[in-house]
């Protein structure tokens, strides 16, 4: 397994983002894909050491396509030069939340967790209700030293606390959110490092209480 192969292929794709180059260099893509899937295979085993909800998943079932949907985008580049995967109890579905990884050269890689999708209104309402009812638990998680040394909560948010929630609630700022997620940036050098699998697992381990809280809130959610 060589994550350098992955980064080199993606860097080349970013410089040659057209269909002709993409199809002419299929062998490079295949080799990079195999290395990324082997990385995921090892990462899943390490995640299972601290999160028993993650099954033994096939890496190819967790990854996202390089091909972009350009129908509604001003950027007509046909490919997204990044390898991405989401590891959760139900694979790459956004809910339940899990562990997200994006590898993109140029210092654009990151390890993520939480709820990125803000288009599911029922999911947003479920998390808001849970924070409103269990604000103390939320506060304890996001102020824990193991959390704050690596993360800050991100997400799309409203300007004001939505109707039906107390503007004076101690967690009012987070009740404005429509999504709640974490992004831990990683450099190309970190991705190349032979210990990257273990490092990524340690970051995800620190995310687990945050993910568990959101999954408690989302229990019973049905994908539309």
* N-terminal to C-terminal alpha carbon distance within the chain: 37
Residue 152: its pLDDT value, please? 97
- Average pLDDT of the chain is 96
pLDDT in tens, 132-155: 999 999 999 999 999 999 999 999
Residue 73: its pLDDT value, please? 77
Residue 159: its pLDDT value, please? 97
- What is residue 73's three-state secondary structure? coil
* pLDDT above 80: residue 1: no
* Token representation of residue 121: 């209104």
* pLDDT above 90: residue 74: no
Sorted by sequence, the CB contacts under 8 Å of residue 177 that are 6+ apart come out as 124, 127, 128, 153, 155, 156, 157, 158
Give 118's DSSP letter: -
> Dihedral of CA 21/25/28/33: which sign?
positive
* Token representation of residue 76: 């007509």
Task: In whole angstroms, give the CA distance from residue 72 to residue 193.
Answer: 38
Helix axes 3-15 and 26-47, enclosed angle (nearest 10): 130
Confidence band of 199 (pLDDT split at 50, 70, 90): very high
Residue 180: its pLDDT value, please? 98
Task: In whole angstroms, give the CA distance from residue 52 to residue 74.
Answer: 42
Q: In the chain, how many H helices and how many E strands?
A: 9, 4
* pLDDT above 90: residue 90: yes
Residue 147: its pLDDT value, please? 96
* Token representation of residue 85: 């995967």
- What is residue 51's three-state secondary structure? coil
What is the longest distance spanned by two Cα atoms in the chain?
A: 59
Task: In whole angstroms, give the CA distance from residue 94 to residue 181.
Answer: 11
Q: What is the pTM of this model?
A: 0.94
- CB burial of residue 185 (10 Å; 0-12, 13-18, 19+): exposed
Confidence band of 39 (pLDDT split at 50, 70, 90): very high
- Residue 182's H or E segment, with its range, is strand 180-186
Least confident piece of the model among 60-64, 76-80, 178-182: 76-80
Residue 145: its pLDDT value, please? 95
């Amino acid at each position: 397994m060589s994550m350098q192969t992955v980064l080199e292929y993606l860097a080349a794709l970013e410089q040659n983002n057209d269909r002709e180059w993409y199809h002419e260099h299929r062998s490079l893509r295949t080799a990079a894909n195999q290395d990324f899937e082997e990385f995921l295979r090892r990462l899943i085993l390490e995640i299972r050491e601290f999160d028993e909800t993650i099954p033994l998943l096939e890496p190819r079932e967790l990854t996202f396509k390089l091909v972009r949907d350009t129908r509604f985008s001003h950027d007509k580049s046909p490919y997204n030069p990044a390898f991405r995967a989401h590891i959760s109890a139900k694979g790459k579905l956004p809910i339940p939340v899990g562990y997200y990884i994006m590898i993109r050269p140029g210092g654009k890689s990151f390890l993520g967790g939480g709820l990125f999708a803000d288009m599911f209104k029922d999911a947003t309402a479920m998390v808001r209700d849970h924070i409103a009812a269990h604000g103390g638990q939320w506060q304890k998680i996001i102020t824990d030293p193991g959390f704050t040394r690596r993360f800050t909560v991100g997400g799309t948010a409203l300007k004001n606390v939505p109707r039906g929630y107390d503007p004076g609630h101690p967690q009012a700022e987070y009740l404005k959110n429509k999504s709640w997620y974490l992004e831990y940036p990683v450099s190309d050098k970190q991705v190349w490092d032979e210990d990257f699998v273990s490092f990524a697992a340690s970051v995800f381990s620190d995310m687990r209480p945050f993910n568990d809280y959101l999954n408690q809130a989302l229990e019973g959610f049905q994908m539309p």
